[in-house]
Structure 1
Amino acid sequence: MDSRKKLFKKVFDGDSCRRRREEQQVQIRKQKREDSLSQRRRMDNDSQSTVPAATNYPAAGSFGTSVGLAAGGANLGGPQVEDLPRFALDMRSGDVAREVEATRGVRKLLSVERKPPVEEVLAQNILPLLVGLLDRDGAPTQLQFEAAWALTNIASTSFTRALVVHGAIPPLTRLLLSPSADVREQCAWALGNVSGDCPELRDMVLQHGALRPLLQNVLAPASESMLRNCIWSLSNLCRGKPQPHVDLLRPALPVLAQVLASSSDPECLQDTAWALSYISDGDGARIQAVLDADVASDLVKHLTHPLPNVVTPVVRALGNLVSGDDEHTQAVIDAGALTCMPSLLRNCKKNIRKETCWLLSNIAAGNRQQVHALATTQGLVKAVLTQMSQAEWEVRKEAAWVVSNVATGGSGQHVHMLVELGVLKPLSDLLDAADVKVIEVALDALEAILKVWKTGVPLAHGECDYMVLLQEADLHERLEKLQEHASEKIYRRAVDIIENYLGVEEEEELGDKLQNEFGQGMYGFQSAAQVGASNKGFDFSSFGH
């Protein structure tokens, strides 16, 4: 966002404070996690073969058991790598029984847990044979199934593009409508692996028309495993950047909405939420398309799911929705999202708390009524301040954005609430950070707070002596240190804040006030420790929205 590149934020508005996800800053799906979820292999014990063995291949010699198979703890006594030339011959034989058995042998070799011999299979030119058997008119169901399974496991490796080169996408797409449920499911799995490889291959799968037959299988799955695999494959068609155009994915939205509303299966919910998060990640048209599918309430419902694997993509999807305009944000607020936020900020998973703070920072970047809705949600601001002061650094940074947006976009009473809840000390602590952007965010919040203090906005409840709290937070000392900061922007901001709000006149006023109050043995304020220990809620009854 251009506003985040500016030196000063003299005027704060919702669009300038609302943030899109920055790929280098906030990533839940780290690359290893991405790889493990975007492409999956099917192990040999996942299915029962239904065609009896027609050929008994001889046992392998000592050389065969050393080519990455015995090391993987699989296939001893079964097909071996040196059987591949024989398999290739039988796959060309025209004898259906021999073709099925040979294809099954290749599939079993590719289904070992570790180091499947993909290169050896490719060296025997078996890949085009697998595609040809899959695409042959009148091919037996079991032959198609074994060929699709073998292709699935090749597609789960670094050789995915070889499937595309040999023309596997069209027959895999066509067989999504096979009379055999097993074949349909296996082809969906294979296409999911192709789509998960890279955006280029994902787009090729979409261009070949795989989306609509995949959606048909989601709407009328033959089994729970088929539903899981089809939704997972669907999520891979939605993920990756550059993104598919939203119009290409629009037919998937009502189907995803139906799964979200009706399914109780954690895997289905997880992949459905990821798909919605991918589609909604972007401009207002993408966000509106997702909201038009009427998913906001069901997403909010799943914020309380007991499994983090479900909650994580749900928070991400909702976070994307509130990164749009005020109307988009209001739809999420109206769905009841804010009431779930305090419990999410107590979640043991760091990434859930981080994503929740990011979501809240964008709500806080909305209009005054939306800031007020956040501020008046019981226990929410206090939970954010706890994260800003006590959580892991990645979470603290996101919580700082929430506070800064409330301070700069809220009313004077919202600022007083922050101060009464003890915001000054953790904000001041952030000024020692190594991250320049975090310091800027903290300075934005502090300047907004000092401006309220300077203009004398009356308190709606209680008493709060800003000058004493500022002193307890060591703010002046930290601002003076920032005058030696390597960043010219930070140095200039620190100087301006000291001159405008904490100059000599203010220091003398503070000294006189402290001398009078200590001399009289009485206080007209609460200390930071007293504020933090107070259990009394902030009264917003007199707030102007």
Structure 2
Amino acid sequence: GLYEPLLQQNERDAAADLLVFLSNRESTDFFSGPPLRALAILAYSDNIDLQRSSALAFAEVTENDVRQVNADTLEPVIYLLQSHDAEVQRAAAAALGNLAVDSENKVWIVELGGLEPLVHLMQSPNVEVQCNAVGCITNLATHDENKSKIARSGALFPLTRLARSRDIRRNATGALLNMTHTDETRRQLVSAAGAIPLLIALLSSPDPDVQYYCATALSNIAVDSTHRKRLAESEGPLVSALVHLMDSASLKVQCHAALALRNLASDGK
């Protein structure tokens, strides 16, 4: 059978303590003191079951209690992303995505090295792991300080690839949209293999959220004259898809399709 490391005494104690803390979760602060210490001991264990307990508890706690936390909370969660176990990866990425709703946490997660394992998890064969990693990157990418770091992290290629997957399309196109808000990230995205053709193709998605993300991303890209030349290479299908979206039932899709057409035409052609 598989070798499972024998539990250390502090791991046994932490596992027992965590059960008590979880049974009193309404009155327990999991982000400091003994509860956090128990979660961290289990996170850093070599035992997969203990890692799972920690990751699942972090995911559950952060689902209901999102607030600014410090490195003592973020480091064990980032460490858990690097587990070889898909269940641990899934729960840890969910927990980090929840924590990444807070503005200060977004910056800290990137500062503490969270991007590299998240980019790695986007390439997991497990759809739930992929989805949670993309969701976390999407949240991180809403902070201006993070955008260029994400663009340079190698995230654009897996995001573009995952946007082709029906299960993850909405999350991935949302993340790509967040990569169109600065000059540098637009430049990175335009030069990323397949990103522009993909955004144009997904204007025809049946999902209005995906239509909105792609139309808005293309509208933002079309602000730069050099990028407009690149978009002009696909002008026929692009213009036709945007004109089609002008009849959308969604007002925001209509609005951003119109804006994209206006930006594309701003060279006076």
Q: Which TM-score bucket, shorter chain as reference? A: 0.7 to 0.9
- The 8 Å contact of residues 90 and 132 in structure 2, kept in 1 or not, is answered as yes
Aligned counterparts of 1:353 and 1:329: Cα–Cα separation in 2: 20
The reply to whether residue 238 of structure 1 matches residue 141 of structure 2 is: yes
Matching residue within 148, 156, 172 for 1:272? 172
Question: Mapping of 1:416-435 within 5 angstroms?
Answer: none
* Alignment gaps of 5+ in structure 1: 1-92, 111-116, 370-545
- The 8 Å contact of residues 44 and 79 in structure 2, kept in 1 or not, is answered as no
Give the aligned residue type for 1:131: L
2:179 is paired with a residue whose SS is helix
Q: Partner of 1:188 in structure 2?
A: 93
Question: Mapping of 1:137-216 within 5 angstroms?
Answer: 137-138=45-46, 140-157=47-64, 159-162=66-69, 164=70, 167-198=72-103, 200-216=104-120
Relative to structure 1, the CA distance from residue 319 to residue 144 in structure 2 (aligned partners, 3 Å threshold; closer, same or farther) is same
Relative to structure 1, the CA distance from residue 149 to residue 109 in structure 2 (aligned partners, 3 Å threshold; closer, same or farther) is farther
Normalising by structure 2, report the TM-score. 0.84
The reply to whether residue 290 of structure 1 matches residue 189 of structure 2 is: yes
- The 8 Å contact of residues 66 and 102 in structure 2, kept in 1 or not, is answered as no
Matching residue within 246, 263, 269 for 1:362? 263
Instruction: Give per-residue Cα distances to partners, 1:5-52, cap 9 Å, x unaligned.
Output: xxxxxxxxxxxxxxxxxxxxxxxxxxxxxxxxxxxxxxxxxxxxxxxx
Aligned counterparts of 1:176 and 1:356: Cα–Cα separation in 2: 38
Shift of 1:349: 0.9
Shift of 1:153: 3.3
Aligned counterparts of 1:342 and 1:192: Cα–Cα separation in 2: 35
Q: Partner of 1:129 in structure 2?
A: 37
Q: Partner of 1:224 in structure 2?
A: 127
Q: Partner of 1:339 in structure 2?
A: 240
Give the aligned residue type for 2:166: S
RMSD across aligned positions (CA): 2.5
Shift of 1:106: 4.5
Shift of 1:333: 3.5
Q: Partner of 2:211 in structure 1?
A: 311
Aligned counterparts of 1:121 and 1:197: Cα–Cα separation in 2: 20
Shift of 1:216: 1.3
Q: Which of structures 1 and 2 has the bigger CA Rg? A: 1
Instruction: Give per-residue Cα distances to partners, 1:70-93, cap 9 Å, x unaligned.
Output: xxxxxxxxxxxxxxxxxxxxxxx8
Q: Partner of 1:541 in structure 2?
A: none
Normalising by structure 1, report the TM-score. 0.44
- The 8 Å contact of residues 106 and 150 in structure 1, kept in 2 or not, is answered as no
The reply to whether residue 353 of structure 1 matches residue 254 of structure 2 is: yes
Relative to structure 1, the CA distance from residue 210 to residue 103 in structure 2 (aligned partners, 3 Å threshold; closer, same or farther) is same
1:202 is paired with a residue whose SS is helix
Shift of 1:247: 4.2
Shift of 1:230: 1.2
Relative to structure 1, the CA distance from residue 109 to residue 226 in structure 2 (aligned partners, 3 Å threshold; closer, same or farther) is farther
1:306 is paired with a residue whose SS is coil
Shift of 1:159: 4.6
Question: Mapping of 1:35-54 within 5 angstroms?
Answer: none
- The 8 Å contact of residues 215 and 255 in structure 1, kept in 2 or not, is answered as yes
- The 8 Å contact of residues 40 and 54 in structure 2, kept in 1 or not, is answered as no
Aligned counterparts of 2:192 and 2:217: Cα–Cα separation in 1: 13
Give the aligned residue type for 2:29: L
Aligned counterparts of 1:343 and 1:152: Cα–Cα separation in 2: 41
Aligned counterparts of 2:15 and 2:112: Cα–Cα separation in 1: 27
Relative to structure 1, the CA distance from residue 252 to residue 149 in structure 2 (aligned partners, 3 Å threshold; closer, same or farther) is same
Shift of 1:94: 4.1
* Alignment gaps of 5+ in structure 2: 1-8
- The 8 Å contact of residues 103 and 143 in structure 1, kept in 2 or not, is answered as no
- The 8 Å contact of residues 100 and 142 in structure 1, kept in 2 or not, is answered as no
Determine which structure has the larger helix proportion and give its number: 2
Give the aligned residue type for 2:77: L
- The 8 Å contact of residues 43 and 76 in structure 2, kept in 1 or not, is answered as yes
Aligned counterparts of 2:251 and 2:201: Cα–Cα separation in 1: 21
Shift of 1:337: 1.3
Aligned counterparts of 1:99 and 1:244: Cα–Cα separation in 2: 35
Give the aligned residue type for 1:249: A
Give the aligned residue type for 1:145: R
Relative to structure 1, the CA distance from residue 149 to residue 337 in structure 2 (aligned partners, 3 Å threshold; closer, same or farther) is same
1:122 is paired with a residue whose SS is coil
Counting matched residue pairs gives: 256
Aligned counterparts of 1:121 and 1:247: Cα–Cα separation in 2: 35
